[in-house]
Amino acid sequence: MRRVDPRQGIVGHQSENRAGWRTLGGAAQPQGRDGAAMPARLHHDLDLRRHGLFTPAFGRQTSGLVRTQIQAEPELASRGEEGGTIPYSSEVAESAAQGFELTVVAPAFNEADNLAELARRLAAALQGVRWQLIVVDDDSPDGTADTAKGLAQSDPRITCIRRVKRRGLAGAVIEGALASAAPYVAVIDADLQHDETLLPAMLAELREDRADLVIGSRYVGEGSATEGLSVVRGAGSKLANRLARLALRADVADPVSGFFMVRRPIFDEVAPKLSVQGFKILFDLIASRTNPIRIVELPYSFRARYAGASKMDSMAVTDYLGLVLSKLSGNLIPPRALLFFVVGASGLIVNLVIAKILIGLHVPFAPADAIAAILAMTSNFLINNEVTYRDRRLRGLRLITGYLRFCALCGVGLIANIAVAALVHQALHVNSLAVVAGAVFGAVWNYGSTSVAVW
Binding site for ligand GDP (CB under 6 A): 107-109, 111, 136-138, 167-169, 172, 189-191, 193, 258, 310-312
Handedness of CA 446, 447, 451, 452 (dihedral sign): negative
Contact 186, 260 (CB under 8 A): yes
Looking at the Cβ atoms of 317 and 382, the one nearer to ligand GDP is: 317
The number of beta carbons lying within 10 Å of the beta carbon of residue 351 is 20
Looking at the Cβ atoms of 159 and 193, the one nearer to Mg ion is: 193
Looking at the Cβ atoms of 279 and 340, the one nearer to Mg ion is: 279
User: Minimum Å distance from CB 422 to Mg ion?
Assistant: 53
Which uninterrupted H or E stretch holds 3? strand 2-5
Q: Name the nearest CA neighbour of 189 among 109, 292, 270.
A: 109
What is the distance, to the nearest Å, from the Cα of residue 367 to the centroid of all Cα atoms in its chain?
A: 48
User: Minimum Å distance from CB 136 to ligand GDP?
Assistant: 5
The residues binding Mg ion (CB under 5 A) are 189, 191, 193
245 binds, among Mg ion, ligand GDP, none (CB under 5 to 8 A by kind): none
Looking at the Cβ atoms of 307 and 345, the one nearer to ligand GDP is: 307
134 binds, among Mg ion, ligand GDP, none (CB under 5 to 8 A by kind): none
User: Minimum Å distance from CB 192 to Mg ion?
Assistant: 9
User: Minimum Å distance from CB 278 to ligand GDP?
Assistant: 10
Nearest residue to ligand GDP, scored by beta-carbon proximity: 310
* Helical packing angle, 314-328 and 231-247, nearest 10°: 20
Strand order in the sheet with 184-187: 22-24, 295-299, 213-217, 260-263, 184-187, 102-108, 131-137, 158-162
User: Minimum Å distance from CB 122 to ligand GDP?
Assistant: 14
Burial class (CB in 10 A: 0-12, 13-18, 19+), 107: buried
Q: Which amino acid is at 93?
A: A
Q: Name the nearest CA neighbour of 30 among 8, 62, 6.
A: 6
User: Minimum Å distance from CB 311 to ligand GDP?
Assistant: 4
Looking at the Cβ atoms of 92 and 145, the one nearer to ligand GDP is: 145
138 binds, among ligand GDP, Mg ion, none (CB under 5 to 8 A by kind): ligand GDP
DSSP-assigned letter for residue 10? E
30 binds, among ligand GDP, Mg ion, none (CB under 5 to 8 A by kind): none
Looking at the Cβ atoms of 193 and 385, the one nearer to Mg ion is: 193
